[in-house]
Amino acid sequence: MLDIVEQAPAALPVILAATRWPLDAALALLQLPFNDLLYQAHQVHRQHFDVNEVQLSTLLNIKSGGCPEDCAYCPQSARYDTGLETTGLMTVDAVIAAALQAKAAGATRFCMGAAWRSPKDREVEQVAQLVSAVKDLGLETCVTLGMLKPKQADRLKTAGLDYYNHNLDTSPEHYGNVITTRTYNDRLETLDAVRDAGINVCCGGIVGLGETLQDRAGLLCQLANLPTPPESVPINQLVRVEGTPLAEVAPVDCFDVVRTIAAARIMMPNAFVRLSAGRSELGEAGQALAYFAGANSIFYGEQLLTTPNPQQNEDRELFLKLGIRAMAGTA
Q: Are 105 and 301 in contact (CB under 8 A)?
A: yes
Q: Which of 71, 203, 221, 254 is catalytic?
A: 71
| Residue 179 backbone zone (phi > 0: left; psi -120 to 50: alpha; other: beta) | beta
Q: Which of 109, 259, 274, 279 is catalytic?
A: 274
Q: Which of 67, 203, 221, 254 is catalytic?
A: 67
Q: Are 199 and 228 in contact (CB under 8 A)?
A: no
Q: Which of 74, 203, 221, 254 is catalytic?
A: 74
Residues forming a β-bridge with 165? 202
End-to-end CA, the chain: 38
DSSP symbols for 98-122: HHHHHHHTT-SEEEEEE--SS--HH
- Residue 221 catalytic? no
Q: What angle do CA 247, 253, 256 make, to 5 degrees?
A: 115
Q: Which of 155, 187, 202, 203 is catalytic?
A: 202
Q: Which of 111, 203, 221, 254 is catalytic?
A: 111
Cα dihedral value 304, 305, 306, 309, nearest 10: 0
- Residue 67 catalytic? yes
Q: Which of 109, 142, 187, 259 is catalytic?
A: 142
Closest CA to 131 of 141, 121, 139, 123: 141
- Residue 203 catalytic? no
Q: Please give the positions annotated as active site.
A: 67, 71, 74, 111, 142, 202, 274
